[in-house]
Amino acid sequence: MKITEARQVDFNRITDLYYKLYPNRKTAKLTAVRSPIVKSKVLVAKESKRVDGFILATFVSYGKSKFGYIEELIVDEKARGKQIGSKLVKRILSWEKELGAEVVFVITEEAMEFYKKLGFKYTKNYTWLLWTPK
Ligand SMILES: CC(C)(COP(=O)(O)OP(=O)(O)OC[C@H]1O[C@@H](n2cnc3c(N)ncnc32)[C@H](O)[C@@H]1OP(=O)(O)O)[C@@H](O)C(=O)NCCC(=O)NCCS
C-alpha cells in the first residue's frame, strides 16, 4: 500500500467510492475534490513604511462548507492598544464574509478577550475533534 497524490485517472474511482456512501448527493460537492478552493491573505498595518502588525488568514471552500481561519495576528508591542489588531481582524472578517465564509475560527489563549470583543464566541457547541502532536 502506497499513499500518493490523487491524479486525474483516480477520479472515477473516487467518484464510485463517494456515491456508494452518498447515493443521493448531487455532483456539486464532489467536483470540489478536483479543485478545492483554498485562499490565504496577509494584511499589514503600516505607519509610513513601518509595519506595525500583520494578520494571516485562510479561507476554505469545499462543497457546502465555507470557513475561515485566522492563522496569525501580531501587533508590535510598541504599537499595541491603538486598535490596530481590531482593524486587521475586521478587515480580514470582511474578506471572509465576501467569500462566503459561514464561520471563522481562531485558536488563542492569550487573546480570548480581544476576540470576544470582536464578536467571537467559544466553540464548545461544535463537534470538533482535535489532533495535536505528542
Ligand atoms: C492580541 C493583539 C493582536 C492585540 O492587538 P492590539 O492592536 O493591541 O489590540 P486593540 O488595540 O485593537 O485592542 C482592542 C481591544 O481588545 C483589548 N485587548 C487587546 N489585547 C488583549 C488581550 N491580550 N487580552 C485582553 N484584551 C485585550 C484592548 O484592551 C482593547 O479593548 P477596548 O476596545 O475596550 O479598549 C496583540 O496584543 C498581540 O499581537 N499579541 C501577541 C500575539 C497574539 O496573542 N495574537 C493573537 C493570537 S492569534
Residue spans of the domains in the chain: they are 1-33, 36-117
- Which fold would CATH assign to domain 36-117? Aminopeptidase (3.40.630)
Residues with CB under 6 A from ligand 1: 70, 73-75, 80-86, 106, 108, 110-111, 113-114, 117
Which residue has the least CA distance to atom 8 on ligand 1? 80
Q: 3-class DSSP state for residue 10?
A: helix
Given a cut of 70, whether residue 35 has pLDDT beyond it is: no
Q: Dump pLDDT digits (tens) for 59-100.
A: 998 777 889 999 999 999 999 999 999 999 999 999 999 999
CA 123 to centroid of ligand 1, rounded, Å = 20
Read off the pTM. Answer: 0.85
CA 112 from chain center: how many Å? 18
